[in-house]
Every structure is written in structure tokens, then in C-alpha cells.
Amino acid sequence: MQRTSLLRYAWLSITAAFATIVLKGIAWWITDSVGLLSDALESFVNLAGAFMALAMLSLAARPADEEHAFGHGKAEYFSSAFEGFLILAAAASIAYAAVLRLANPQPLEAIGAGIGVSVVASAINFAVARSLLSVGRQFKSITLEADAHHLMTDVWTSAGVIVGVALVWLTGWLWLDPAMALVVAANIVWTGWKLLGRSAAGLMDVSLPAEQLAAIEEVLSGYRAQGLDFHALRTRQAGVRSFVTLHVLVPGNWTVHEGHDWLERIEADIRRAVSHAHVTTHLETKDDPASHADRALDRPPE
């Protein structure tokens, strides 16, 4: 699948957000439940996040150019961070409305119909979230994964709200409705915080996940057994693309042609071990002391 084809999943998320806004808005209107209101407000966050995802996926799909030699993959982290901020803003709004309702409880109306409409909206979110999560993981799109996790949070949020409204219906305890809204707010704050943390890690060039580093090390171990050595291994991720750089130390009596052939094989093996990897190697001789002076990011002055 081409990266540009992922855009249709962003449009799917946008369509689902519009549908759930309407359905949850109806559920709140007929019940006057602050819990269902909080659920509807989060759907507006979903819509804004979906539009941001569409914009950033479009940007990330652009090929590398003279000003962006490493491509545009990091654009996806901006989408994830933006959605995290929106989630935190929605949580604050939900908590404010819930506190006001705790201070001034209001009876709920047409609870059965409101719950039914909310269940339909949750089913739409669940189906779309599963689709986005599957595609996001397959193609390493942090944007689609973030959108999927947010929608799944919305599903659990809706489940909690529905339980709260149903308990009000059964017990007549009006405080359960705003209390559940506060629980919802706390839950989505945690989701927003995790999204912000993951986005910050990507923008700060955090190294590849442990399982991918282990796959690279397995490749290098095979070559160490053949007399080569390595250092200055550095990795980072930009959206779907992984970047791997390392220095390869070979016997000093090898020709440049021979060393180059080995580097080509090493790079090919790493690309097979880590999908969508851009691998850069630097050839050095094992018996030259200068070869060991550049292990760190900043080489000491001569």
C-alpha cells in the first residue's frame, strides 16, 4: 500500500466523527445528561484530530526534496501531539461541566432512548478504531495509531457514561451522572498525556524500539563472527521510516572495493530485519587508532 492510500483511513475517521457527533448530540439533547454531553464533546475532539491526521498524512506522504532530504515523515508526530492537546482541552471542559452539575443536580429525561443512540455511536467508533489500529500498526503510521487509540478511549468513555446514566435510571441517584463524567475526564487526560509523550519522543529522535534494535544486533553478531566489528550505532524514527547509521571496522589490508561489497551486504541484511529502514554505513579499519576516536556523537578535538 502506498502512503498516500492511507489518506482514505483519515477520511473514514472524519466520517465516523461526524456521525458520532450527531448521534451523541441527540442522546444528550433528549436526556440532558452531562455524562452524555461529555461524550459528545469528545467527538468534536475526534473530528479535529481526524482533520489534523488527514493534513499530516498528506504532508508525510510527500517525497524527499532539497529542503527536506530525510523526507517529511516527522509530520505525523505533529498530528499525534495536536490530538493529545485537544484531548486535554476536552477533559478540562468535561470536568468543568461535571462540577457544575454536581453542584446543581438535574433529572434526566428519555434515558432509554439516549442510551440506545449512544450505543450505536460507540459501535461505529469501535469498528473504525479497530480498522485504523490494524492499518496503523501494519504501516507504522503513528497518526493512524493515535487516532485509533483515541477512538478506543472514546468507546470506553461511552461505556462508562452509559453505565452511569443507566445507574441513575435504576437508582435515581443524580450525582452518578456527573461523577461518571469526572471519571471520563480523568481517563482521557491519561490518554492525551501518553500521546504527547510519544510525539515528543519521536520529535526528539528517540532510538528504535528494543525489538528492532535486537534485530539489528542479531545481524551484526553474524558479521562479528566473520571478523568484522562495529561501533557508533545510532537509530531514530521519522514516521514510517527508520534511520540506522553505524561504523563498520574491517581488516586494514582489505581493498576499498572489498570493503564496499561487505557494507552493501550488511546494509541489505539490516533493511530486511527492519522494514522501511534507511541504512548509512561508514567504513573504517580495525587497526587504525583513529577509527576508535569517533564512537561518540561529538568527536573530541584533535
Residues 30 and 178 in one domain: yes
Residues 227 and 178 in one domain: no
Residues 17 and 47 in one domain: yes
Cβ atoms 25, 36 nearer than 8 A = no
**Residues 30-39: tens digit of each pLDDT:** 777 766 776 6
Q: Which of 112-116, 175-179, 216-220, 247-251 has the lowest mean pLDDT?
A: 112-116
Rg (CA), the chain: 26
Q: Indicate whether 299 belongs to any domain.
A: no
The pLDDT mean for the chain works out to: 81
Residues 66 and 19 in one domain: yes
Q: Which range among 17-21, 63-67, 147-151, 211-215 has the greatest average pLDDT?
A: 211-215
Residues 242 and 96 in one domain: no
The total of structural domains in the chain comes to 2
Q: Indicate whether 227 belongs to any domain.
A: yes
- Provide the pLDDT for residue 190: 78
Domain that holds residue 242: 210-292
The predicted model scores a pTM of: 0.65
Spatial separation of the C-alpha atoms in residues 125 and 47, rounded to whole Å? 12
Q: Indicate whether 52 belongs to any domain.
A: yes
Residues 195 and 237 in one domain: no
Spatial separation of the C-alpha atoms in residues 153 and 155, rounded to whole Å? 5
- Provide the pLDDT for residue 1: 43
Cβ atoms 46, 171 nearer than 8 A = no
Q: Is the pLDDT of residue 172 over 60?
A: yes
**Residues 74-100: tens digit of each pLDDT:** 777 777 787 778 778 777 877 877 787
Residues 21 and 87 in one domain: yes
Spatial separation of the C-alpha atoms in residues 180 and 183, rounded to whole Å? 5
**CATH number of the domain to which 238 belongs:** 3.30.70.1350
- pLDDT-derived band at 300 (thresholds 50, 70, 90) equals low
Residues 28 and 172 in one domain: yes
Spatial separation of the C-alpha atoms in residues 187 and 176, rounded to whole Å? 16
**Residues 109-128: tens digit of each pLDDT:** 656 666 777 788 888 889 98
Structural domain ending residue among the three candidates 179, 203, 227: 203
Cα–Cα nearest to 5, from 155, 150, 168, 138: 138
Residues 163 and 14 in one domain: yes
Residues 100 and 146 in one domain: yes
